[in-house]
Amino acid sequence: MTTTASAPSPTPSPAPSPVTTSVDVESSPKAGPAAGDPAAGDPAAGDPASTEPRHDWTLDALRALHDLALPELMFRAQSIHRQAHDPSKVQLCTLLSIKTGACPEDCSYCPQSAHHNADLKREKLLDRDTVLKAAARARDAGSTRFCMGAAWRQVGDDRQFEEVLAMVRGVRDLGMEACCTLGMVTPHQAERLAAAGLTAYNHNLDTGPDYYDKVITTRTYDDRLRTLSNVRQAGVTLCSGGILGMGESIDDRLAMLQVLASLEPHPESVPINALVAVEGTPLAQRPPVDAFEMVRMVATARIVLPTSRVRLSAGRTTMSRETQALCFLAGANSIFTGDKLLTTPNPGEDADRQLLADLGMQAEAAVAAGT
Ligand code: SAM
Ligand code: DTB
Ligand code: SF4
């Protein structure tokens, strides 16, 4: 079994050019916050270009960072990004909905909830062969991670879970990283997923703690944190992020980042989704997320979660190529590829290949076919 992209590669890159900024990270790399620095007044603040993970961000410090002049915010995000990652590389992940619709949860963004009326074809758990064929296709198109999503509230202890474990083993045998998003998991279920070779478990916080119950009422923020803890304890890496554009404030978004940054260690992957407003869901009429708000969120995530992969996730079909490029410049280094996310459209492999080529960027090392 071979995985070629299990961790961010800390490729040394040329140092940022010594332009003068309000905090000159070049000439005083170990200096504390200078006057005018957003981290000033935050007792835990240190070198603003440090990639040392911090778990004690205050909301005020996050807000000051987020609201910096965009060139300054981008400079800081890039300074951190190139220390911890190769800025020319993007991880390609492919999603598959292995069980679709009829979900008992009431997540107001989600077309798969049984509480809403989205035009969706329900599907029972797919068979293993279908899933593994899709994974092999994704691998051959350059994806290194295959993510299987199920419209479940939680994992059951039944034959279906055994089947998912077999799918995880099958994806690993293809030489790919395997990710699952199956709802809540118990410690024992997380251990079984780990034993099957699962690379990552996706479970999003979705938004900040104060806005959460405006979006979902059928499970709590603490339920989500418990699942994340169960997954971490089992030794599976964490993929956790959220959604922009559900009516939340900037502070709600930053509060979510604050909770993610409080986790020790930080989640290895942080998906930043822009809401896909689906007809038949309560959020169908939400306007699209402003491009600069997306870029600011990605840059802030890059700064506070320096070694995590920041994934530009749902919502790319309504983003221009230029907006996506700005997100890469802000530190996004992972995308979902393929024509479909779980149930909604995605730009597709050709468009992504062209985008990366035009930007002179590369997909992270593909897995060799046949391994
Ligand atoms: N049922 C499982 C759960 O909720 O944990 C796994 C699947 S669920 C579809 C995975 C994530 O997709 C959600 O937590 C949410 O962040 C994201 N998502 C769902 N619908 C979305 C939409 N319309 N726009 C953007 N993101 C969405
Ligand atoms: C994540 O944060 N985004 C992905 C993945 N994790 C599972 C899902 C996006 C779903 C978008 C709506 C859909 O296609 O159903
Ligand atoms: Fe169900 Fe997950 Fe959709 Fe919520 S986000 S309704 S839990 S599939």
With respect to residue 35, please indicate whether it lies within any of the assigned structural domains: no
- Would residue 327 count as lying in a domain? yes
pLDDT score, position 51: 79
Q: Are 367 and 175 in contact (CB under 8 A)?
A: yes
- Among the atoms of ligand 2, which is closest to the Cα of residue 278? 12
pLDDT above 50 (res 40): no
Q: Is residue 36 part of a domain?
A: no
- Mean per-residue pLDDT, 345-370: 85
Average pLDDT, the chain: 87
Please give the backbone phi and psi of residue 258, each rounded to the nearest 5 degrees, phi first: -60, -45
Domain annotation covers residue 274? yes
At 31 the pLDDT is 35
Owning domain of residue 213? 57-360
Verify whether ligand 2 is closer than 6 Å to residue 308 (CB atom). Answer: no
Can you tell me the mean pLDDT for 19-48?
41
Residue 285 structure tokens: 């009429």
Q: Using CB atoms within 10 A of its CB, is residue 295 exposed (0-12), middle (13-18) or buried (19+)?
A: buried
CA distances from 168 to 163, 209, 240, 280, 350 (A): 9, 31, 19, 32, 27
How confident is the model at residue 90, as a pLDDT?
96
Question: Counting Cβ atoms within 10 Å, is residue 304 exposed (0-12), middle (13-18) or buried (19+)?
Answer: buried
**Residue 295 pLDDT exceeds 50:** yes
Residue nearest to atom 14 of ligand 1 (CA): 204
Which residues are known to be catalytic?
Answer: 103, 107, 110, 147, 179, 239, 311
Question: Ligand 1 centroid vs 110 CA: distance in angstroms?
Answer: 6
What are the residues whose beta carbons fall under 8 Å from the beta carbon of 115, sequence distance 6 or more?
105, 106
Structural domain includes residue 293: yes
Q: Ligand 3 centre and the CA of 31: distance in Å?
A: 45
85: three-class secondary structure by DSSP: coil
User: How large is the average pLDDT for residues 4-29?
Assistant: 33
Using the predicted structure, report yes or no on whether residue 220 has a pLDDT greater than 80.
yes
Q: Tell me the CA–centroid distance for residue 97 and ligand 1, in Å.
A: 11
Count of domains observed in the chain: 1
> Ligand 1 centre from 206 Cα, in Å?
8
Once rounded to an integer, what is the mean pLDDT over residues 7-16? 35
pLDDT at 6 over 70: no
Q: Is the peptide bond before 29 cis (omega within 30 degrees of 0)?
A: no
CA distance 13 to 86: 7
Do 295 and 66 touch, CB atoms closer than 8 A?
no
Q: How confident is the model at residue 217 (pLDDT cuts 50, 70, 90)?
A: very high
Q: Is 270 helix (H, G, I), strand (E, B) or coil?
A: strand
Residue scoring higher pLDDT (207 or 41): 207
Mean pLDDT of 203-232: 96
Tell which phi-psi region holds residue 143, choosing left (phi > 0), alpha (psi between -120 and 50) or beta.
beta
- Are 153 and 219 in contact, with CB atoms under 8 Å apart? yes
Q: Looking at the predicted structure, is the pLDDT value of residue 219 above 80?
A: yes
Domain assignment present for 203 = yes
CA of 6 to the centre of ligand 3 (A): 27
Atom of ligand 2 nearest to the CA of 202: 6
Residue 22 lies in a domain: no
Q: Is 178 helix (H, G, I), strand (E, B) or coil?
A: strand
CB 276 within 8 A of CB 344: yes
- The binding-site residues of ligand 1, defined as CB within 6 angstroms of any ligand atom, are 109-110, 149, 151-152, 181, 183, 203-204, 206, 243, 273, 275-276, 278, 314, 342
Ligand 3 mutation target, pool 107, 180, 201, 246, most atoms within 8 A of CB: 107
CATH code: domain of residue 119: 3.20.20.70
pLDDT of residue 367: 57
Q: Which atom of ligand 3 is nearest to the CA of 151?
A: 8
Single-letter residue type at 291: A
Asked whether residue 202 is domain-assigned, the answer is yes
Distance CA 362, CA 53 (A): 26
